[in-house]
Structure 1
Amino acid sequence: MDAITQWVLDAAASIWVFPAVALLTVADAFLVVVPSETIVVALGSLSASSGSPHMVALIVVAAVSAMIGDSLTFALGRRLGAPLLARVRSPRVQSVFEWARIALERRAALVIFIARYIPFGRVAVNLVAGATGFAYRRFLPLSALACTAWAVYNVALGAAFGAWLGDYPVVAVAVSIVVAIAVGLLIDAIRVRRERRRAVE
C-alpha cells in the first residue's frame, strides 16, 4: 500500500500532470469515454491531502482546457452541421440531440451550464449549438463561465475528501471518484426524468 501511495503522490507532483489534464480534458469534449471529471476530482483530492498538484493551477488548467474542448466541438458542429447529426442512428443519441436543440432555443445559458456536468450532454449541446447557427460570441462567454464552475466544483469535491482523509491519499482519491461518478449519474437521471415528464405532458 505504501508503494502505491508513493507512486500516486509522485505522479501528482510530476511536471507532466498539467499537460495530461489538459489533453484528457480537451479529448473529453469529443470522446465521452475519457474520464476528465474523474481525473480532476482525483487530483483535487491529492492537492488537498499532499499539496500537489497546485490547486489553483489545476482549476485554471481544467477550466481553460474544457473551454478549448467545447469550442472545438462547437466548431465541428458549425463546419459539418446537419449532415453530421443526420448520420446518427441511435434513438437515444437522437433524443439527446433533440433535447439539446430545443433547450438551446429556450434557455441557452442554463442548458450550457447543466450540460457541462453530463458527459454526452455537453458533446450534444456543443455540436448542436454549432450546427444550428448559435452565435459563437454568445456561446464563448457562457462556455467560459460553465467550464470555470465545472473546474471549481470538481477540484473542490476532490479537495473536500482529500482534506477529510488527508492521511490516506489513495483512499481519498477512491472515495472522491466514486462520489463524483454518483453525482454525474444522478444529474443525468434527473435530466432523463424531466424530459420524460415533459413528453407525457
Structure 2
Amino acid sequence: MHIQEWLETIPAVSIYLLVGLVIGLESLGIPLPGEIVLVSSALLASQHGEIDPVVLGICASAGAIVGDSVGYAIGRRGGKPLLEGLGRRFPKHFGPQHVAQAERAFEKWGMWAVFFGRFVALLRIFAGPLAGVLHMPYWKFLVANVLGGILWAGGTTAVIYSIGIVAEPWLKGFSWVALLLALVIGLTVTLVLRSRMKKAAAAEDERRTAAATAE
C-alpha cells in the first residue's frame, strides 16, 4: 500500500502526531523517511479539508525542533562513542565517511551547518547529535535549529500543499505525480549540495596537506 493511501485510512489527529513523531525521531538521529511522510501528508491535506495544513506545519516544525534538541543533548552526553555505536548499528547512514563529511561541514560552516543541514538528508539526521558531540554553544544551535526547522517543515508543507491545490483539477487520481516531482526536486537539491560539500572538503584537505608539506 502506498504511504498516502495508508494515511487516508487514519484520522487527521493521528496524521499530525505521526508527522511530528517521525520527523522528531529522524532529527534525533534515527534514519527515518521524515521528508516523505511530510510531503505525503501535505499533499493529502490539499485533497481533504479535515487535515489543516497550518496544524500540520506546526506539528512538523515542533517535531524537527524538539527532535534536534534531544539529539543535541544526547550527543553532548554521549560524545564520540555515541557516533561510533550508531555507526555499527546503521553503517549506511553513520559510517566513518559520513561522520567525517558531517564534521567537515560543521568545522567550516558552524551553526549554519545546522540551519542548512535541515535541507540535506544526511545532515538532517546528524545535525543535532553532532552539534552536541562537538560542544557547539547551545544558544547558537537553538537559533539555527528553530529557524531551520520552521523554514524546512513549514516551507515544505506550504509548497506541497499549494502544489496539490493548484494541480488537483488536472491530476485528480494521479496525485502521485506531484509527490514524485517534489521528491525528484528534493533529491536533485540534496545531490547538488552533497557534491559541493565534497568538493569543498577535498579542497580543504588539499590545503591542509600543502600547509603540512610546507612546514
Q: By the TM > 0.5 criterion, same fold?
A: yes
Quick check: 2:101–2:198 contact (8 Å CA) kept in 1?
no
Deviation for aligned residue 1:70: 0.7
Q: Which residue of 2 aligns with 1:31?
A: 30
Q: What code does the residue aligned with 1:28 have?
A: E
**2:66 counterpart of 1:68:** yes
Instruction: State the partner residue of 2:136.
Output: 134
Deviations 1:49-84 (A, max 9, x none): 332310111111100011111111111211110112
Task: Determine the structure 2 residue equivalent to 1:197.
Answer: 199
Of residues 118, 124, 127, the one that matches 1:125 is: 127
Count of residue pairs brought into register by the alignment: 194
Shift of 1:169: 5.6
Where do 5+ consecutive residues of structure 2 fail to align? 207-215
Are the structure 2 counterparts of residues 156 and 97 from structure 1 closer, same or farther at C-alpha, using a change threshold of 3 Å?
same
Partners of 2:73 and 2:14 lie apart in 1 by: 28
5+ residue gaps, structure 1, are none
Looking at structure 1, the residues matched to 14 and 111 of structure 2 have their Cα atoms a distance apart, in angstroms, of: 34
Structure number with greater Rg is 2
* Corresponding residue number in structure 2 for 1:101: 103
Quick one: structure 1 residues 118 and 31, their matched pair in 2 at CA, closer, same or farther if it must change by over 3 Å? Answer: same
Output the CA distance in 2 between the equivalents of 1:158 and 1:196: 29
Q: CA deviation at 1:6?
A: 9.0
Hey, what's the Cα distance between the residues in 2 that align with 1:52 and 1:76? 37
Question: Which of structures 1 and 2 has the larger relative contact order (alpha carbons within 8 angstroms, sep 6+)?
Answer: 1
Q: TM-score, normalised by structure 1?
A: 0.82
2:181 alignment partner in structure 1: 179
Q: Structure 1 residues 80 and 61, CA, compared in 2 at 3 Å: closer, same or farther?
A: same
Q: Which amino acid aligns with 2:96?
A: Q
Aligned partner of 2:43 in structure 1 is 45
Query: Residue 74 and residue 169 in structure 1: after superposition, are their counterparts in 2 closer, same or farther (change >3 A)?
Result: farther
CA contact (8 A) 1:75 1:130 kept: yes
Distance 1:52 1:108, change over 3 A: farther
Greater Cα shift, 129-138 or 40-49: 40-49
Deviations along 1:128-174, whole A, 9 cap, x unmatched?
110011111221121011010011221123213311232456522x2
CA RMSD, aligned part only?
Answer: 2.7
- Conserved 8 A contact 1:78-1:127: yes
Conservation of the 8 A alpha-carbon contact between 2:61 and 2:150 = yes
Assess if the C-alpha contact under 8 Å between 1:50 and 1:169 holds in 2. no
Between the aligned residues of both structures, percent identity stands at 24
Alignment check: 8 A CA contact 1:46 1:169 kept = no
Match of 2:156 in 1: 154
In 2, Cα distance between the equivalents of 1:7 and 1:82? 39
Q: Give structure 1 regions of 4+ aligned residues with deviation exceeding 4 angstroms.
A: 5-10, 89-92, 167-170
**Alpha-carbon distance between aligned partners in 2 of 1:45 and 1:125, rounded to the nearest angstrom:** 27
